[in-house]
A and B are shown apart, each in its own frame.
Chain A
Amino acid sequence: MIKVTSGDFDVQATIDAAARRSIGAFVTFVGVVRDDGIERMYLEADCFAAEEELSCIRTEAVDRFGVETVDIIHRVGDLRVGDPIVLIIVGASHRRAAFQACEYIIDRIKESVPIWKKEYTPDGTRWVPGEHEDKKTSG
């Protein structure tokens, strides 16, 4: 499943849906809203383009690491500290490929998927700079 949604996700249900007899390992990554002195966070996306990009990343991961299943769910909208943001579940016959693919996927999401975070703090708001940001655009 590839999805950008305002709803929450169910980790176990997603694993159950991906399960097949040839899979020996599922690696799960859940990104959550960290308390960096914020009150809440708003996530914005170009949803259609984001799902297209996530699908491309899934294909890349399957081709590179030979994993069997990749599910990615990314949330948008208002979230609070501790709320889950993103779920990545990779299923593979062996653990090593699953771990490698999972790390590759989250790195690629941070690099190219059109999703942005705005943090609300007691002092105001700020857009979270991307990891591939240069200084001038982060103001």
Chain B
Amino acid sequence: MKIWIKTFARFREVFGDRFTVEVPLDATVLQVAKTVECMHDGGRGMLMESDHTIRRSVILLRNGRRIPGEGREQVRLSEGDELTIYPPVAGG
């Protein structure tokens, strides 16, 4: 299935601002994040920890709504969903 990916700031510079990835049906957020990170050598370690979990400081939104930290990696996405990936924020 096709998932839209949107990124900002340093992630945008590495991965691109909006694009699609092809993942298996009912893929989880974790699977999609791994797919994105593997697309560019320069992105290695930006999204994932060495134990293959998503970095806690990375913020994720599904169709514009934040995915809460607890259990977020196992959230299953649907065809056409948009996963927004924020680097740690630095406003103010």
Contact = CB atoms under 8 A, between A and B. Distances in A.
Are A and B subunits of one complex?
yes
Interface of A: 31, 43-46, 49-50, 74, 85-86, 106, 109-118, 127-134, 136-139
A137 B8 contact: no
A137 B91 contact: no
Nearest to B11: A137
Contacts, number: 88
Mostly helix, strand, loop or mixed at chain B's interface?
Answer: loop
B87 A127 contact: yes
Interface of B: 8-10, 12, 45-46, 49, 55-59, 61, 64, 84, 86-92
B86 A86 contact: no
A108 to B, nearest CB: 9
Closest 9 CB pairs of A and B: A115-B91, A130-B88, A116-B9, A130-B90, A133-B88, A109-B92, A110-B92, A127-B10, A128-B90
A86 B46 contact: no
B88 A118 contact: no
A138 to B, nearest CB: 8
A136 B46 contact: yes
A44 B92 contact: no
A81 B91 CA distance: 16
Given A46-B84, A111-B89, 6 more contacts: A106-B92, A114-B86, A117-B90, A130-B90, A136-B46, A137-B88
Given A49-B64, A116-B10, A136-B55, A129 B88 contact: yes
Nearest to A43: B91
A137 B92 contact: no
B55 A134 contact: yes
A44 B17 CA distance: 12
